């Protein structure tokens, strides 16, 4: 059944139009939150831990996530001549409060700590502040090199958006009045078709990267469009701003509703190969390609199979959508009757791997969740979009019970906000809704949602050896939060504790409270004059 035929029985389309135009062989990490701790914790160990082979294997692609490219301007801390020549000079030493997650602790507040970042952007120590004298001797920094945080400031890990559509940022905050399949044909496909124009694409892509970084998204997993050249342009812009990202050129060879926005099967595969090749040749240190079939209803079996071969041959990450709505499930069942389930469709075509992240997953069966666990695939939970398009509510607690990795996604523009803080809040609301309606007997806490947006996202994207918290040996992707910013959207009172400051930021804060953003130790917000 063709995509257009599959939605023929749905209500008439809304009359409104669009206003304007990493590492080879890596096994799946244990998911959050109920697994045991699988790695050591750096607090109390001031030596840099050796990077695991899984993290280093990213160097095989595009120079990897740890290659050169960190030469952005930093103020280097003076290092005495007696320092070991093998030790990188320090770029930053911070003293204050750090808030992050561990596998066994959804939120940990570390007061009175010293954190050091070397010139490569790696966290080399996280210690109690009373260890300053010993650390100074070992690392060669002076008291004047230490940056002191105020009582109202703290660092938290950078936010990880595991699912976002860059071109849809054009109409974010509008057009969420239709269910998914009608929404795609009425608004989304006509809008994405405009991104063949490089000038048009550059403006929108520049704005979405700026906006997400300003809102604390240090890592993003982007869908672009079917157009290779402007998808490469998105990668260029991301690299220029210093964000960490996966970028996917969308592949789709079925679209009878908007026939000018699709490819032939052969062209889709050929252009995906070109996209991967040209992006890797650019050797961006923190931007990698990801195989991106749009979703089952827009892809033939031949296309899915070819993309699975490509992902397997080149050991690439994969992203797509799965089981977002019940209507979508019916379309897939009619189009692919030989497969046992939507998950089986991806799995049999080699698209369900330990490097796969699938958005939504609202209506997966227990058997499908078991297959996700077996393959090590991850779920991108997108509560804002699920609410806006009436798609469903993912039972995250149940997914985690199946030991499936879960991260959060904004899913712009089905999700109307590009802020991961909104995703955190909606995650709590969605879980509460399930509890109220007796679908789940336990709700996710704010602390657990915080973990999903940081460490959970890093797991979902296979980057938890590199980012996700402040463990020694990881890269310093971080947000400096000022809860007493002059234009803060919330108020503090004398009786408030630090925990009150933190909760107010997570529930009420926004980019006005995010005073600085760091990716791999380099400050990327406030933006430099070059961008």
pLDDT of residue 46: 36
| Per-residue confidence (pLDDT) for residue 78, from 0 to 100 | 41
Q: Rounded to an integer, what distance in angstroms lies between the CA atom of residue 429 and that of residue 435?
A: 10
| CATH annotation of 3-25+159-460 | 3.20.20.140
The pLDDT value recorded for residue 442 is 86
Q: What is the enclosing helix (H) or strand (E) of 154?
A: strand 153-157
Report pLDDT for 86.
61
What is the spatial distance between Cα 471 and Cα 80, in angstroms, rounded to a whole number?
Answer: 26
Which of 50, 20, 128 shows the shortest CA–CA distance to 473? 50
Give 257-323 as a 3 state SS string. Answer: CCCCCCCCHHHHHHHHHHHHHHHHHCCCCCEEEEEEECCHHHCCHHHHHHHHHHHHHHCCEEEEEEC
What pLDDT is recorded for position 18? 33
- Locate 341 and state its tokens: 């389930």
Q: Which long-range contacts (CB under 8 A, 24 or more apart) does 80-84 make?
A: 80/140, 82/140, 83/139, 83/140
**How many residues in the chain?**
531
| C-alpha triplet 348, 255, 161: angle, nearest 5° | 65
Contact 402, 432 (CB under 8 A): no
The pLDDT score that the predictor gives to residue 38 is: 32
Residue 198 carries which DSSP code? H
What would the DSSP string read from start to end of 434-503?
HHHTTS-SS---HHHHHHIIIIIHHHHTT-TTTSSS--TTSB--EEEEETT-TT-SS---TT--HHHHHH
Q: Are strands 90-102 and 105-118 parallel, antiparallel or unpaired?
A: antiparallel
Sign of the dihedral through C-alpha 427, 428, 430, 435: positive
Which portions of the chain are predicted below pLDDT 70?
A: 1-86
pLDDT at 531: 87
| DSSP assigned state of 516 | E
Q: How far apart are CA 234 and CA 289, in angstroms?
A: 11
């Amino acid at each position: 059944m063709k995509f257009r035929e599959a939605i023929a029985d749905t209500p008439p389309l809304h009359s409104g139009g669009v206003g304007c135009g990493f590492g080879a062989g890596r096994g799946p990490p244990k998911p959050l939150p109920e697994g045991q701790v699988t790695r050591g914790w750096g607090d109390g160990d001031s030596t840099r831990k050796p990077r695991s082979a899984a993290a280093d294997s990213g160097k095989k692609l595009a120079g990897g996530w740890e290659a050169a490219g960190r030469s952005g301007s930093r103020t280097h801390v003076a290092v005495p001549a007696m320092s070991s020549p093998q030790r990188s000079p320090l770029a930053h030493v911070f003293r204050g409060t750090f808030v992050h997650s561990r596998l066994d602790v959804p939120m940990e507040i570390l007061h009175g700590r010293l954190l050091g970042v070397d010139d490569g952007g790696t966290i080399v120590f996280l210690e109690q502040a009373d260890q300053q004298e010993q650390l100074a001797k070992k690392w060669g920094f002076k008291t004047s090199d230490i940056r002191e945080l105020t009582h109202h400031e703290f660092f938290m890990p950078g936010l990880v958006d595991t699912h976002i559509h860059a071109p849809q940022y054009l109409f974010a905050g509008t057009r969420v009045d239709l269910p998914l399949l009608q929404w795609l044909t009425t608004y989304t496909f006509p809008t994405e078709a405009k991104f063949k124009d490089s000038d048009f694409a550059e403006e929108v892509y520049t704005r979405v990267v700026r906006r997400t970084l300003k809102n604390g998204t240090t890592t993003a997993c982007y869908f672009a469009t079917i157009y290779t050249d402007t998808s490469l342009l998105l990668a260029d812009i991301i690299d220029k701003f210093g964000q960490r990202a996966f970028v996917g050129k969308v592949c789709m060879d079925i679209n009878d509703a908007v026939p000018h926005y699709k490819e032939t099967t052969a062209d889709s595969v050929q252009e995906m190969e070109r996209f991967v090749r040209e992006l890797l040749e650019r050797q961006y240190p923190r931007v990698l390609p990801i195989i991106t079939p749009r979703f089952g209803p827009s892809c033939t079996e031949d296309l899915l199979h070819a993309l699975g071969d490509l992902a397997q041959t080149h050991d690439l990450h994969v992203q797509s959508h799965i089981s977002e709505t019940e209507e979508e499930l019916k379309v897939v069942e009619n189009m692919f009757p030989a497969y046992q389930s939507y998950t089986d469709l991806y799995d049999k075509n080699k698209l369900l791997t330990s490097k796969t992240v699938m958005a939504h997953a609202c209506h997966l069966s227990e058997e499908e969740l078991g297959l996700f666990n077996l393959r090590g695939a991850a779920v991108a939970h997108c509560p804002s979009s699920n609410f806006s398009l009436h798609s469903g509510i993912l039972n995250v607690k149940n997914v985690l019970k199946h030991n499936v990795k879960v991260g959060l996604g904004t899913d712009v523009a089905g999700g109307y906000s590009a802020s991961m803080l909104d995703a955190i809040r909606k995650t709590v609301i969605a879980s509460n809704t399930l509890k109220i309606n007796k679908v789940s007997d336990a709700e996710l806490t704010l602390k657990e949602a915080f973990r999903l947006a940081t460490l959970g996202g890093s797991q979902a994207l296979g980057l938890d050896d590199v980012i996700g918290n402040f463990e020694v040996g990881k890269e310093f992707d971080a947000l400096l939060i000022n809860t007493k910013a002059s234009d803060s959207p919330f108020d503090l009172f004398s009786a408030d504790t630090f925990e009150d400051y933190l909760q107010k930021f997570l529930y009420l804060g926004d980019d006005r409270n995010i005073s600085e953003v760091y990716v791999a130790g380099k400050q990327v917000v406030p933006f430099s004059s070059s961008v």
